[in-house]
Amino acid sequence: MYVVLGASGNTGSVVAQELLRKGEQVRAVGRDASKLSALARLGADIEPVDLNDSAALANVFSGAQGAYLLIPPQIHAEDFIAAADAISSSIADAARDAGLSHVVVLSSIGAQHAERTGPIVTLHRLEEKLKQVPQLSALFLRPAYFMENFMMMIPLVQAMGFFAGGIRGDLKMPMIATRDVGEYAAERLAALDFSGFSTREMLGQRDVSHHEVAAAIGAVIGKPKLSYQKFPALLVEQGIKQLGIPKKTARLMTEMHDAGNEGLLTPQELRSEQNTTPTSIEAFAEEVFAPAYRTKAATA
């Protein structure tokens, strides 16, 4: 039996589905049981648990062969870092108390740094806490920039006709589709072929720039001249706050953008067959972004 945290999210849902497809028993954990109903229909056991409750989480982990661990997004918390740190401490305590032996952990590229990476700092701390759990073997997945981050820009594209952000438009960087992360995590969990503490960067299909992303997405949504514009940090923070995200979190996001521009998020591994994943930005644009864009356009 495997436990999957964040089972209604982008990566966790794929992990759970893939394990079930392989015939494994799954305990699907999420904050909202209603969002886990599709997994229940596929045969998963549903566990709506507050991740801050380490005792309840230890009960969920009890008897598991392995678990997929993550910190759910805390973007609306008044203090992003404190909220994420509390969850990571709870997860580590629960893993220790339950005697978990194997975990695959959703971390991030750049998590080797203890500072100056915005929200990624919380994943560095999660890794360090899990390293203190006795007899635990952990595979830390450090994926690149999620392609799904561009989904937040759909309203901007509809209203203004361009993408915008704090990353340099010409900076080529690895980007990955979340489904590729979930599929790989499920594969490694099912195999349980790791021991001790190890790291795997996940670099997507190839390195692309934000200018190239805009071109790829524009080509499939009927906006061939769609462009990307780099904005100053202050304007980016203002735009993020307009989405209802607290000021402190907005500032963390721009710190992460700066980290990318300054090379702190440069991969440590050379690109290889092992860390390259199949979904291209063109496939993501066609299969994920365009349908969501058209749906929002139809309901606007």
pLDDT for position 230? 97
Quick one: how far is CA 214 from the chain centroid? 21
With vertex at residue 113, the alpha carbon angle to CA 255 and CA 58, rounded to the nearest 5 degrees, is 105
pLDDT for position 296? 85
Q: How many helices (H) and strands (E) does the chain have?
A: 12, 12
Taking the domains of the chain in order of start, what are their residue ranges?
2-145+177-202
Radius of gyration of the chain, Cα coordinates, nearest whole angstrom: 19
Tens of pLDDT along the chain (300 residues) come to 999 999 999 999 999 999 999 999 999 999 888 999 999 999 999 999 999 999 999 999 999 999 999 999 999 999 999 999 999 999 999 999 999 999 999 999 999 999 999 999 999 999 999 999 999 999 999 999 999 999 999 999 999 999 999 999 999 999 999 999 999 999 999 999 999 999 999 999 999 999 999 999 999 999 999 999 999 999 999 989 988 999 999 999 999 999 999 999 999 999 999 999 999 999 999 999 999 999 988 876
CATH 3.40.50.720 for the 2-145+177-202 domain, yes or no = yes
pTM of the predicted structure, to 2 decimals: 0.96
pLDDT for position 64? 98
Phi, psi for 157 (deg, rounded to 5): -65, -40
Cα-based distances in Å from 114 to 87, 120, 203, 231: 18, 9, 21, 26
